[in-house]
Copies of this chain bind each other. A is one copy, B any other.
Amino acid sequence: MIDFRDVDQAKPYKLFKELYKIAVLENQKNVEAISISTFNSEKSEVDSRFVNIKLLKGAEFIFFSNYKSPKSEAFKLHPQITALFYWSAIDVQIRIKAKIKKTPASFNDEYFKKRSKHKNALAISSNQSQFVQSYEDVVNKYNEVLETENLLKCPNFWGGFAFTPYYFEFWKGHESRINKRDVYQLNGTNWDHKIIQP
């Protein structure tokens, strides 16, 4: 579930919250799952993966990750992303173009302390996306960290990313396939609204 804190009052944020609530009521699985697309300019390669959004705070969507992961490297090289929700329970796609940056270390420390020790043991033990000999090695390292490490201390290679949208598209599927597409685009401090063709 996404934790909403002092959410921005502009129209696209209100729409986002409304649709989120309907999706939850309709029992959408993994409602907080979002695909994050990146461009690694050194490799000249587009990549994409799902993460879980934990917070919508003001105008920022926040998730957490290993700061040495391939996606962190891509954010550094090209700090623009596209994020995509698709809620099949209500046939709605929300596309967000945004700028992304790290959350402050003090914020990460505080957040880390409130997580379960199991999540924290995994955050500490896993060299995200690095090769490993076997799945058993992953489990063994996790169990060792669970027993031996201070699980309240946020490691410096772990923390949040916050992305701030400059573009929202709300896509609503229609059985006729004449789908509705509403675009909100940031223009200075205003959000321009337009309809685009399916």
Q: Which A residues lie at the B interface, using CB under 8 A? A: 29-30, 33, 35, 37-39, 44-50, 78, 80-84, 86, 88-89, 93, 95, 97, 118-119, 122, 126-135, 138-139, 142, 176-178, 180-181, 194-198
**Complex contact B37–A177 (CB within 8 A):** no
In the bound complex, what is the Cα–Cα distance between A133 and B138 (angstroms)?
55
Query: Given A177-B122, A178-B138 in contact, is the A194-B131 Cβ separation under 8 Å?
Result: yes
Among B37, B118, B180, which residue has its beta carbon within 8 angstroms of that of A82? B37
- Say whether, besides A35-B35, A80-B44, A86-B33, A126 and B198 are in contact (CB < 8 Å): yes
- Among B82, B119, B197, contact of A138 (Cβ-Cβ < 8 Å): B197
Number of identical protomers:
2
Task: Look across to chain B and name the residue whose beta carbon is closest to the beta carbon of A142.
Answer: B178
Taken together as a complex, chains A and B put the C-alpha atoms of A46 and B133 apart, in Å, by 33
In the assembled complex, 15 residue pairs joining A and B whose CB atoms fall closer than 8 Å, in A order, are A33-B86, A37-B37, A39-B39, A39-B46, A45-B97, A46-B81, A122-B178, A127-B197, A129-B197, A130-B196, A130-B197, A138-B178, A138-B195, A139-B178, A142-B178
Closest Cβ of chain B: how far from A130's Cβ, in Å?
5
The residue among A29, A48, A126, A132 with the most chain B CB atoms within 10 A of its own CB is A48
| Contact A49 B122, beta carbon cutoff 8 Å | no
Contact B95 A48, beta carbon cutoff 8 Å: yes
In Å, the complex CA distance between A194 and B84 comes to 28
Q: Is the CB of A118 within 8 A of B47?
A: no
Query: Which one of A50, A89, A130 has the greatest number of beta carbons of chain B within 10 Å?
Result: A50
Q: Are A46 and B82 in contact (CB under 8 A)?
A: yes
Question: With A and B bound together, what is the CA distance between A82 and B33 in angstroms?
Answer: 17
Cα A146 to Cα B134 with chains together (Å): 57
Query: Contact between B46 and A37 (Cβ–Cβ < 8 Å)?
Result: yes
